[in-house]
Structure 1
Amino acid sequence: MRSGILAGLAAFLLCACASPPPVQHAPEPVQTASRYRAQIHTQLGAGYYSRGQLGVALEELKVALAADPNYGPAYNVLGLVYAALGEPTLAEQNFLRALALDPNDSEARNNYGLFLCQRNRQEEGIGQLLQALRNPLYRTPELAYVNAGNCAQQTGDRKRAQEFFEKALQIQPSQPQALRAMAEIAYGDGRFDEAHAHLARYMQIAQPDAESLALGVQIERRRGDRQAEASYAAQLRNRFPQSKEAQALESGDL
């Protein structure tokens, strides 16, 4: 059951940590009208992408690039859209175009690294993620560390993954994906009190799902805290009765 939790966690982390381009509220004084139009339609495209409206996102991004074919962030979001559409070749082409236009675009580099990890090209992906972190102006370096940790975890390198997640938490102590991943790693290594501490912090800042509640059941069972185990089990049964985790709990396989 632990491997199932890990696989679900990997998918969760990969979906959660894509970086949209920074929001632009007004044109810069020297900015051309075409560049401003490209920014506005890129932001609209990013918004539609985040809501899963991929067709509309694609149309907005085409408008952005018609206005300014050299606007890098539009290619970054296009990469995300094409990846979500199951078009990996087009996705990679657009990420690379974004980086060719601006090698210091850490959002694009983070997203490209994430994409590579999703394509089972983990070492290439980690390389891109670490390169994103070299930019001192990168607004969300914790996301790159989370993605690097998840990527390392996919290769079975739990020690390296833990190092990346710890760095994410040094930057943002309440980073939920890193806290949850650290709880999973600590549980797998038999450090049950540490797993308990990380999961408790995660539960304070995030809405639990079936996987995190199942992990709580397992951690508290190994710690011998029957009351806490029963609490997690009750939440799992009540909130996610049809989940595979709840079914495993009822059958004794959890």
Structure 2
Amino acid sequence: MRLIFIILSSIFFISACVSSETVTTLNNPKGQKMAFDPKGAADTRIKLALVYIENEQMQQAKENLDKALSYQPDSAKVHRIFAYYYEKVQENEKAEKFYKEAISLDDSDGDTYHNYGTFLCGQARYDEADAAFLKAISVPKYTRVARSYANAAICSEKAGANEKAIFYYKYALAHSPKSNEINLSLAKINITEKIIKKRY
């Protein structure tokens, strides 16, 4: 709880510095004003919103996301986090709208495709989720490939496609060989498949 308070206090301090149209720097002896940085202000609001979402303070989260969106209306990142917010409050139509807008603003953001895939899987839209995870993986600069393969595997399991899940888990493991969680998941599904094959 103390850690959360410290984080919030730090972010509030930063937020106070960037919430107006100009910023006065402390190390500027003449008190000259610098141009407002909308991206920096939006990033600060996003960080605040994520802390609030984590602590289930949804009204405060939305207030900060509204501010972030006003600062950066064409930011794919702002739209992605807003989609995540709507997903958490179970407003699925709005969540999907924001995910699609994020993709339209930047179709090379692997994180957006991954999060959208997770959302679609939660809606039991397994084929669409699979396509979104694979799209994330195909983005050249995307670094969380193991995570996307693992989530694609989990989603395939939910869809009853165990062979595909095993395939994805193996790729996830190739990208993160020391992951105990992936190793365990792969072992469990292999055991399940062996039991099923013995029955038939």
User: Which TM-score tier does this pair reach, normalised by the shorter chain?
Assistant: 0.7 to 0.9
Answer yes or no: is 1:149 the counterpart of 2:153: yes
User: Following the alignment from structure 2 to structure 1, what is the Cα–Cα distance between the partners of residues 51 and 110?
Assistant: 19
Answer yes or no: is 1:118 the counterpart of 2:128: no
User: Following the alignment from structure 1 to structure 2, what is the Cα–Cα distance between the partners of residues 189 and 126?
Assistant: 21
Residue equivalent to 1:224: none
Residue equivalent to 1:226: none
Distance of aligned partners of 1:32 and 1:145 in 2 relative to their CA distance in 1, 3 Å threshold: farther
Q: Which structure carries more relative contact order (alpha carbon 8 Å, separation 6+)?
A: 1
User: What is the deviation of 1:32?
Assistant: 6.7
Distance of aligned partners of 1:33 and 1:109 in 2 relative to their CA distance in 1, 3 Å threshold: same
Task: Judge conservation of contact 1:165–1:182 (CA < 8 Å) in 2.
Answer: yes
Residue equivalent to 2:39: 35
Counterpart of 2:63, as a letter, is E
Q: Secondary structure at the match of 2:194?
A: coil
5+ residue gaps, structure 2: 1-34, 196-200
Q: Secondary structure at the match of 1:136?
A: coil
Answer yes or no: is 1:109 the counterpart of 2:108: no
Instruction: Show structure 1 runs of 4+ deviating over 6 A.
Output: none
Q: Secondary structure at the match of 2:90?
A: coil
User: What is the deviation of 1:44?
Assistant: 2.0
Task: Judge conservation of contact 1:168–1:175 (CA < 8 Å) in 2.
Answer: no
Residue equivalent to 1:12: none
Residue equivalent to 1:174: 178
Answer yes or no: is 1:72 the counterpart of 2:61: no
Residue equivalent to 1:212: none
User: Following the alignment from structure 2 to structure 1, what is the Cα–Cα distance between the partners of residues 126 and 36?
Assistant: 39
Counterpart of 2:145, as a letter, is P
5+ residue gaps, structure 1: 1-30, 192-254
User: Following the alignment from structure 2 to structure 1, what is the Cα–Cα distance between the partners of residues 181 and 56?
Assistant: 21
Out of 88-97 and 41-50, give the one that drifted further.
41-50
User: Following the alignment from structure 1 to structure 2, what is the Cα–Cα distance between the partners of residues 175 and 79?
Assistant: 29
User: What is the deviation of 1:182?
Assistant: 1.1
User: Following the alignment from structure 2 to structure 1, what is the Cα–Cα distance between the partners of residues 191 and 60?
Assistant: 42
Count of residue correspondences: 161
Distance of aligned partners of 1:55 and 1:142 in 2 relative to their CA distance in 1, 3 Å threshold: farther
The equivalences for 1:214-253 within 5 A come to: none
User: Following the alignment from structure 2 to structure 1, what is the Cα–Cα distance between the partners of residues 41 and 48?
Assistant: 11
Task: Judge conservation of contact 2:162–2:193 (CA < 8 Å) in 1.
Answer: no
Residue equivalent to 2:13: none
Q: Over the residues paired in the alignment, what is the CA RMSD in angstroms?
A: 1.8
Distance of aligned partners of 1:94 and 1:176 in 2 relative to their CA distance in 1, 3 Å threshold: farther
TM-score, normalised by the number of residues in structure 1: 0.59
User: What is the deviation of 1:147?
Assistant: 1.1
Counterpart of 2:120, as a letter, is L
